[in-house]
A and B are shown apart, each in its own frame.
Chain A
Amino acid sequence: MLVIERLAPTGTGRRVHSALFISTAVAYALSFAVYLIFLNTGKVLSGRLGTLLLAAGLVTHYFALLGRSRGTHTVPYHDLYGAMSLFGWLLALTYLALELYHRQRSVGALVVPFILLFFVGAHLAPADKLSPPPAHGPLFAFHVTLNILAYSAFALAFVLSLTFLIEERFLRNHQLGDVVWRLPPLELLERMSRSSVLIGLVCITIGTAFGFLWVYRLSSEYSFYDPKYAITLLVLILYAVYFRLARTTAWRGARASKLCVFNFLIVFLSFTVVNLYLSANHRFF
């Protein structure tokens, strides 16, 4: 099997099997193309094929993550590449679960580009020095994985809310092109968005609790000085507020969707600016 070896400045190897990379990228790209066809034509077969290709991409993506972890002897989220790639994988997983639960494939064409972007972007990210993490163990792994899963669920809610706002605008302005007839009903988009946020809320709550527990075990005391704690708390509050308001008289519909879109900007800020520049302990996750 062909192997691409990208060396970090320190000489730490980052081995990504090119066959896995190519097959994952191709599976996601084809899934996107087929979901687009489904959105335009509404053919059931295209929708099913899109789902199958996404599932295939998910499997090869998993092995790509696994292979990389074995190659670097660390967890996949230890650097920017791994964190982004894991984010993309969990986004795909969350979307697939929601698609199967709600039996709605029209959003696939809008979600898969993000999955592809994160997967390919992760591969193109600059190589980093991989120093061993201060501690290992299931608690830490759950903490990080659950938080990234929460972010991916929030990302999905963002896409769904954005779709809601676009479709709602089209319906209100009587601009009914071909695509509007193919998008999911507004109420379903709302429900899917709420389901996604619920997944995110549960994961971020448990994941953050695991994080505090891990810090406690590591240093025998809780640390509240990391800006990541504050922004995570803010994210948690904002999404809890969304979840509550989305069912109320004044907010249900477009207003709640706008709030959900705004909330994700904070998540994005947390995942990028805060991780990279402000947090000492949350470099990439």
Chain B
Amino acid sequence: MEIVLVGLNHRTAPVEVRERVSFTVEQARRASEELRSKGILEETLVLSTCNRSEVYGVPPETSRECAPGLSNFLSEFHSVRLDILGNSLYHHYDREAVRHLFRVAAGLDSMMLGEAEILGQVREAYRVAHEQGATGPVLNRLFQGALEVGKRVRAETELGTRPMSAASAGVKLAERIFGKLSERSALVLGAGTISEQVIAQFRDRGIARLFVMNRSRDRADGLAKQYGGEVVGWGEWEKTLLIPDVIVSSVSAEEPVLQRRMVEQAMGKRGNRALFLMDLGLPRNVDAGVAKLYNVYVYNMDDLTEIVEQNRQARENEIPKADSIVDEHVGKFLSWQASVELVGLVNELRARMREERAQFIRARVGSIQHLTEADRARVEKLMDDMLETLLLEPAQRLRGEKDLRRKVQNVEALRDLFLSNRVKP
């Protein structure tokens, strides 16, 4: 009942390698099927995100022996030479494999520390494998534990609460002023990459109305179509500035696009309704004087970058707390694993002793002539009772005492000691 993990991630492999080894859902299903049909693994689960591809499994033999087979499988499955993959792949076994998965689910192993999406991706990978029947008792328990760790880390630490990009920091700031954005409207000036990031953030938060204004109408049309926004003609300031609660500007212009006079007039017409301006342009798109206007809040790229930096430090400060949650659950899982293995061992021992007893009676008691059938049955019963008494206490202690299970580190050694001449299950 070992656990093996083979995979690569953003730390060990460049994007060129990662994209060649990533799995679609269908590929993940097929890989699981092949791994089990070829006898490489008994239980399998493929976790594939944009930053990692990992195969978790329970091998029929000792895990260290099956790791090379898994590497070869990955190489063949994706048609990537092993010498290209070799340096990027990591192999983890048992405790390390469990700890790795739990840290992944907690967002501790993500490129952006504490990102929230990974927990959903782990949940989805588990759902796919479970529905396929590729998981068994070990991986079920392991991934349920991982989901619990992910939830606890998010609930009990601040690892995932603070925005980590200028776009998300700006959107969070808008929520500080307006609350939920589902009844708000936003105007995005520019249609570049940054604008798209912000628009995606707005859409995630269900913004009610989204306007896109860009010098090139085609690009604005594309963005508006993709994200369900409305295109506004470049320069229609007088009318446009009256509507939005949030304005995001990310255009290249030598002079500020939004002048103080222009915003001041608009504020008067809109009844001084609060306006949040996110200036993501360089040079700045919003005139410095705008920040002095009543009920207008202006944040530029430097302000937002500073917030992101503060948040990054705050998230890093949460790592020890998150790691202690991970370690607690690793301990729980290993204890469960040991209990299952040890109880299995006790059952095997019981079967073995009964067999020995039967042989003993045949060889020794059978030759005693004066014993009646009833006496023989009685002797057999007495021997059974003695053997049960011998096994009962250790079996009960293994079920009840977690610490004892932790102390018994190597179940295989016990198995070899008591069941050396028998085939491993």
Contacts and interface: CB of A to CB of B under 8 A. Distances in A.
A180 B299 CA distance: 15
Interface string B267-305: 010011110000000000000000100110101000100
Chain B CB within 10 A, most for which of A42, A176, A250 = A176
B148 to A, nearest CB: 16
Interface stretch (B96-104, B171-179, B325-333): B171-179
Interface in A157-192: 167, 171-172, 174, 176, 178, 180-181, 183-188
Contacts of B2: none
Contact of B179 (A44, A171, A185, A249): A185
B230 interface: no
Contacts, number: 58
B177 A186 contact: yes
A171 B161 contact: no
Contacts of B307: 176
A76 interface: no
User: Which label, helix, strand, loop or mixed, suits the secondary structure of the A interface?
Assistant: loop
A69 B272 CA distance: 50
Contacts of A186: 176-178, 274
Given A248-B271, A250-B272, A172 B297 contact: yes
B162 interface: yes
B155 interface: yes
Contacts of B156: 43
A187 B274 contact: yes
A252 interface: yes
B158 A42 contact: yes
A185 B272 contact: no
Contacts of A183: 176
A253 interface: yes
B314 to A, nearest CB: 8
B176 A253 contact: no
A204 B178 CA distance: 31
Contact of B177 (A44, A45, A171): A171
B310 interface: yes
B81 to A, nearest CB: 49
A44 B155 CA distance: 8
B176 A249 contact: no
B161 A42 contact: yes
B306 to A, nearest CB: 8
A281 interface: no
Interface residues of B, number: 27
B309 to A, nearest CB: 12
Chain B CB within 10 A, most for which of A167, A249, A252, A254 = A249
A73 B273 CA distance: 53
A181 B179 CA distance: 11
Contacts of B268: 249
B179 A187 contact: yes
A253 B272 contact: yes
Contacts of A188: 179
Interface in B157-205: 158, 161-162, 172-173, 175-179
A66 B147 CA distance: 50
A18 interface: no
Contacts of B306: 174
A187 B273 CA distance: 10
B274 A185 contact: no
Nearest to B314: A178
A43 B294 CA distance: 34
Nearest to B270: A249
A252 B272 contact: yes
Contacts of B295: 252-254
A174 B303 contact: yes
5 closest Cβ contacts across the A-B interface? A185-B179, A249-B271, A253-B295, A249-B272, A188-B179
14 contacts: A45-B155, A172-B291, A174-B303, A181-B162, A181-B172, A183-B176, A185-B175, A186-B176, A249-B271, A249-B272, A250-B272, A253-B294, A253-B295, A255-B294
Given A172-B297, A250-B272, A252-B271, 19 more contacts: A41-B158, A43-B155, A44-B155, A167-B176, A171-B173, A174-B299, A174-B306, A181-B162, A185-B178, A186-B177, A186-B274, A188-B179, A249-B272, A252-B272, A253-B272, A253-B294, A253-B295, A254-B294, A254-B295
